[in-house]
Amino acid sequence: MSDKITVRRRPGLLFVLHASLAAFGTYFCMYAFRKPFSVATFDGLSFFGIDYKILLVIAQVMGYALSKFVGIKVISELRPNRRLLYLISLIVIAEISLMLFAWVPAPYNIPFMFLNGFPLGMIWGIVFSYIEGRRFTDILGVVLSASFIVSSGVVKSVGLFVMNSWGVSEFWMPSVTGALFFIPLLICSYLLQRVPPPTQEDIENRTERIPMTSQDRSDLVKKFFFPLILIVLFYTFLTAFRDFRDNFARELWDSIGYQGDVSVFSTSEIIIAVVVLLIIGAIFYIKDNFKALLTYHVLLILGTVVLAVSTLMFQTRVLDPFVWMVCTGFGLYICYVPFNCLFFDRFIATFKVKGNSGFLIYIADAFGYVGSVLVLLYKNFGQADLSWLNFFVYGTYAVAFIGICCTILLFIHFASRRKTEQLNNQLDYGQ
């Protein structure tokens, strides 16, 4: 499919609907190949002194993390005419890995969960490359991000249904669930490929997005090393506990009294997605890129405060357990969503960076998923006697503390840097 599709005039609403449906649907369906296995408990299985499910989660996350490091180069250099081929090929590899996981007996099937995670780690960068650098990217990015909030709960519900109603084993359930979403994924991917490229107005407002060379990547890291360090630190904690909440959602819900409730996974995440979508989507109306970038800092503070306060209220029995889980989901995602796309999109537009968002997203993601693996290992070997619930509670406080500190420093840095750049521009203009 040619990437040289030109549209001289396109109705904004129709474009947004088309791009939103395509991006949301593609990434939503991808989650059916990644997350259903986490709804299984694999009770009574352990190998090498480690709970079998933890081994599976670690294997998949390690594959996902390695994919992010590879993606720093691959996604930043990705050319439009290769997107669809990459996307479909990676999904097929992930599904074949799930089938081999079911066919090979435990624990010899663990490497196939690693092979499942590796190709899926590339999908986000491919999908976002279709919609970045546009006047409507804030809206499209929120819709795309809402897909992984909603889909995580929905595909878990589907996976649990497949086991309970169809009698599919815990080992075959992930591949069966993935197969149910394969045709919808092909349709949405085709629609995504039909999304027209950015217009001249998009380029003027948000800076042209281009494939990056190794020199481009090196120059960008050197120029923004300090803020990138802060972002990576915060995002590592954020990803680790967001991923922990996602992978062990069943254990967390069971521990607060929702054993066997199929709908709770979807219901809670849909509520979170709607609220997050409405709040972050409103930033679309902030046309000034720098003001929008600072607004995201306000949302980061909001999310971390909600995490800490809601957890404290839950511990003191002031807050209902269901409401607390929704609040922690909101706090995590109101911080997590911007770093996945929109924060970097406005960052590039503000400082006129030569490159694309995929490079920055994959730097953050790579270290974020390394943090996720380390948290799982720490839970198993360092805090084995601590319940899933208590471990998550303490984690929310850690994320809140680190997040508030990093966000304040980032806010001060970007405000100072912008002021300095404006002053230099005025001096250059005066000369």
Phi and psi for 47 in degrees, rounded to 5? Answer: -140, 145
Tally DSSP H helices, then E strands, for the chain: 18, 2
The CA distance from 89 to 341, in Å, is 23
- The per-residue pLDDT of the chain, averaged, comes to 89
Phi and psi for 355 in degrees, rounded to 5? Answer: 155, -145
Range of the domain at 288: 12-425
Q: Is 1's pLDDT higher than 70?
A: no
Q: If we measure between CA atoms, which residue out of 285, 301, 297 comes closest to residue 414?
A: 297
Q: Is 54's pLDDT higher than 60?
A: yes
Q: How many residues does the chain have?
A: 431
Interior angle at CA 376, CA 373 and CA 378, nearest 5: 110
Residue 5, domain member (yes or no):
no
Report the pLDDT value the prediction gives residue 142, as an integer from 0 to 100: 85
The CA distance from 366 to 372, in Å, is 10
Residue 331, domain member (yes or no):
yes
Q: Give the DSSP letter string of 33-67.
A: GTSGGGG---TT-EETTEEHHHHHHHHHHHHHHHH
Report the pLDDT value the prediction gives residue 267, as an integer from 0 to 100: 84
Report the pLDDT value the prediction gives residue 146, as an integer from 0 to 100: 81
Residue 388, domain member (yes or no):
yes
Phi and psi for 198 in degrees, rounded to 5? Answer: -60, 145
Q: Tokens in use for 100?
A: 């081999």
Q: Is 5's pLDDT higher than 70?
A: no
The CA distance from 339 to 29, in Å, is 22
Residue 2 neighbours by CB distance under 10 Å: 7
pLDDT confidence tier of residue 426, bands split at 50, 70 and 90: low
pLDDT tens digits, 391-408: 899 999 999 999 999 999
Average pLDDT of span 409-424 = 88
More confident residue, 159 or 383: 159
Residue 380, domain member (yes or no):
yes
Report the pLDDT value the prediction gives residue 421, as an integer from 0 to 100: 80
Q: If we measure between CA atoms, which residue out of 205, 149, 209 comes closest to residue 335?
A: 149
pTM: 0.80
Determine contact, residues 133/203, Cβ cutoff 8 Å: yes
Q: Is 355's pLDDT higher than 70?
A: yes
Residue 351, domain member (yes or no):
yes
Residue 245, domain member (yes or no):
yes
Listed in sequence order, the residues at least 6 apart from 313 whose beta carbon sits closer than 8 Å to its beta carbon are 319, 324
Average pLDDT of span 178-195 = 96
Report the pLDDT value the prediction gives residue 8, as an integer from 0 to 100: 41
Report the pLDDT value the prediction gives residue 11, as an integer from 0 to 100: 54
The CA distance from 294 to 410, in Å, is 9
Q: Is 425's pLDDT higher than 70?
A: no
Report the pLDDT value the prediction gives residue 4, as an integer from 0 to 100: 43
Q: What are the residues facing 355 on neighbouring strands?
A: 209
Report the pLDDT value the prediction gives residue 3, as an integer from 0 to 100: 45
In this structure, which amino acid lies at residue 300?
L
pLDDT confidence tier of residue 50, bands split at 50, 70 and 90: confident
- Say which residue the tokens 């800490």 belong to: 308
Number of domains in the chain: 1
Q: What is the CATH number of the domain that holds 189?
A: 1.20.1250.20
Phi and psi for 197 in degrees, rounded to 5? Answer: -70, 165
Determine contact, residues 348/355, Cβ cutoff 8 Å: yes
Query: What is the percent of the chain with per-residue pLDDT over 90, rounded to a whole number?
Result: 57
Listed in sequence order, the residues at least 6 apart from 296 whose beta carbon sits closer than 8 Å to its beta carbon are 283, 338, 342, 343, 346
